[in-house]
């Protein structure tokens, strides 16, 4: 039983494979030939533990390929027969679940556009009562940890214990280098809250292009994710969905073999000793940072008092701009990332304003 009260079995036990777990297959099953041929080539890499393919495709805009439907399930099962690999597909409602169970799909997953909707998640959970099948749950498209967590709770209440999380990144209006912003902090937060819940990463949907897949995959493994779900297609450029992010099975094999699998701990004594020395240094520095912050806030408090007596506003934009400018160039000269310096300053400034507000308006406790 996890801290959150979830009853979980690890992916390595229900998939009977070692970490890193690799799941691969096309974004969508398009034709029997494409599905089976892709599956055979993926299996031939000898590095993949389960096959994926979308049968019902939730498309953002209408008019795009929406999946083969039940016909496609037959191709997926054919791929399973020919490769011996377990198969997985996305379900979004009770009818999908029923069709998958009838066809013999081994593992189900709930897609990002479904995790956002508790009605749909509950419908899937209800349709799985009394069924022993693994279910993987992708993060919701919006960065809401509670929704993601809620989906695990709903499934678990229905009796599903073989679960895993899939981190596929989050939608945002601003377009960065990724199709879906990874927001690694959120994935780390879920892992921290429920350490027993295995998480795999979907670098294909995070990256949105094949060039970044290796980079995202390695980062995921370095964050101790249990495995990866990577889209692969015999002819990626001609794929009916997500063409830019799919790789051939050959490239898939290369990506996987170039990944460095690291462990969370080691018995190497020299390593442990050096690590604890370095951590001691970090601990001391953190103590320094905290006491400097406390001292800084005490001065903010005095400034607040002084501004109050002189009827001067808390915020003075020119002073704030000057702070950002000088600290950013100082940070740069010291080798600190500009984005990091800005984020840190924003946080400190925010707290400084709160402290001054308290003094100015005689607020006892922060609301």
Q: 3-state class of 120 per DSSP? A: helix
* Paired residues of 166 in beta bridges: 138, 200
Answer whether 8's CB lies under 8 Å from 161's CB. yes
- Give dist(CA 280, CA 286) in Å, integer: 10
- Give dist(CA 55, CA 142) in Å, integer: 23
Return the structure tokens found at 316.
Answer: 């003075």
Nearest to 49, CA basis, from 83, 82, 85, 13: 85
What residues contact residue 38 under an 8 Å CB cut-off, 6+ apart? 25, 26, 79, 232, 233, 234, 249
Binding part of the chain for Mn ion, among 34-42, 150-158, 241-249, 290-298 by CB under 5 A, reads: 241-249
* Closest distance of CB 242 from Mn ion, Å: 4
Q: Could you tell which of ligand PEP, Mn ion, none binds residue 138, using a CB distance below 5 to 8 A set by kind?
A: ligand PEP
| Per-residue contact flags (x/-) with Mn ion for residues 17 to 46, judged by CB under 5 A | ----------x-------------------
Which C-beta is closer to ligand PEP: that of 57 or that of 356?
57
DSSP 8-class letter at 238: G
Binding part of the chain for Mn ion, among 82-90, 95-103, 114-122, 238-246 by CB under 5 A, reads: 238-246
Q: Is 112 in the site for Mn ion (CB under 5 A)?
A: no
* Closest distance of CB 187 from ligand PEP, Å: 13
* Closest distance of CB 138 from ligand PEP, Å: 5
Return the structure tokens found at 325.
Answer: 């400018």
* Closest distance of CB 322 from Mn ion, Å: 47
Cite the DSSP H helix spans in 63-212. 70-83, 94-103, 112-115, 118-127, 145-157, 184-193, 203-207
Which C-beta is closer to ligand PEP: that of 149 or that of 166?
166
* Closest distance of CB 173 from ligand PEP, Å: 17
- Give dist(CA 133, CA 104) in Å, integer: 10
Which C-beta is closer to ligand PEP: that of 76 or that of 112?
112
Return the structure tokens found at 357.
Answer: 């507000």
Which C-beta is closer to ligand PEP: that of 201 or that of 221?
201
In the bound complex, which residue of the shown chain has the CB atom lying closest to ligand PEP? 111
Which C-beta is closer to Mn ion: that of 49 or that of 138?
138
Q: Could you tell which of Mn ion, ligand PEP, none binds residue 112, using a CB distance below 5 to 8 A set by kind?
A: ligand PEP
Cite the DSSP H helix spans in 162-226. 184-193, 203-207, 213-222
- Give dist(CA 194, CA 156) in Å, integer: 13
Which C-beta is closer to ligand PEP: that of 27 or that of 314?
27
Which C-beta is closer to ligand PEP: that of 75 or that of 352?
75
Q: Angle at the Cα of 188 (from 180 to 201), degrees rounded to 5?
A: 50
- The residue within the footprint of Mn ion, chosen from 120, 230, 242, 255 (CB under 5 A), is 242
* Closest distance of CB 7 from ligand PEP, Å: 25
Q: Which residues lie near ligand PEP (CB under 6 A)?
A: 27, 54, 58, 111-113, 138, 168, 205
What residues contact residue 329 under an 8 Å CB cut-off, 6+ apart? none
Answer whether 61's CB lies under 8 Å from 49's CB. no
Q: Could you tell which of Mn ion, ligand PEP, none binds residue 108, using a CB distance below 5 to 8 A set by kind?
A: none
Which C-beta is closer to ligand PEP: that of 4 or that of 113?
113
**Where along the sequence are the contacts to Mn ion (CB under 5 A)?**
27, 242
């Amino acid at each position: 039983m996890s801290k959150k009260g979830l009853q979980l079995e690890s992916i390595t036990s229900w998939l009977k494979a070692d970490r890193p777990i690799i799941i691969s297959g096309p974004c969508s099953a398009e034709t029997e030939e494409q599905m089976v041929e892709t599956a055979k080539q993926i299996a031939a890499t000898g590095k993949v533990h389960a096959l994926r393919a979308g049968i019902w495709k939730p498309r953002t805009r209408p008019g795009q390929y929406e999946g083969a439907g039940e016909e496609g399930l037959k191709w997926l099962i054919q791929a399973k027969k020919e490769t011996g690999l377990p198969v997985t597909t996305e379900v979004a409602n009770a009818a999908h679940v029923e069709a998958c169970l009838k066809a013999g799909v081994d593992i189900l997953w709930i897609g990002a556009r479904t995790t956002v909707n508790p009605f749909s998640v509950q419908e899937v959970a209800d349709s799985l009562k009394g069924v022993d099948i693994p279910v993987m749950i992708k993060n919701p498209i919006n960065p809401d940890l509670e929704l993601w967590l809620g989906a695990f709770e709903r499934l678990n209440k229905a009796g599903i214990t073989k679960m895993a999380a899939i981190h596929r990144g989050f939608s945002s209006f601003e377009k960065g280098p990724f199709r879906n912003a990874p927001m690694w902090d959120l994935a780390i937060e879920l892992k921290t809250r429920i350490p027993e819940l295995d998480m795999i990463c979907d670098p294909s949907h995070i990256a949105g292009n094949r060039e970044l897949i290796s980079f995202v995959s390695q980062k995921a493994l370095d964050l101790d994710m249990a495995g990866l779900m990577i889209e692969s297609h015999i002819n990626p450029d001609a794929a009916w969905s997500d063409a830019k992010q799919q790789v051939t099975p050959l490239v898939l094999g290369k990506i996987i073999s170039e990944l460095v699998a690291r462990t969370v701990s080691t018995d190497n004594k020299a390593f442990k000793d050096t690590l604890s020395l370095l951590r001691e240094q970090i601990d001391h520095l953190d103590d320094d940072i905290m006491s400097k912050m406390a001292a800084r806030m005490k001065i903010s408090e005095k400034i607040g008092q002084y501004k109050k007596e002189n009827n001067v506003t808390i915020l003075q934009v020119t002073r704030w701009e000057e702070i950002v400018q000088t600290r950013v160039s100082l940070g740069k000269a010291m080798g600190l990332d500009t984005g990091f310096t800005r984020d840190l300053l924003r946080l400190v400034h925010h707290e400084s304003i709160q402290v001054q507000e308290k003094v100015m308006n005689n607020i006892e406790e922060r609301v």
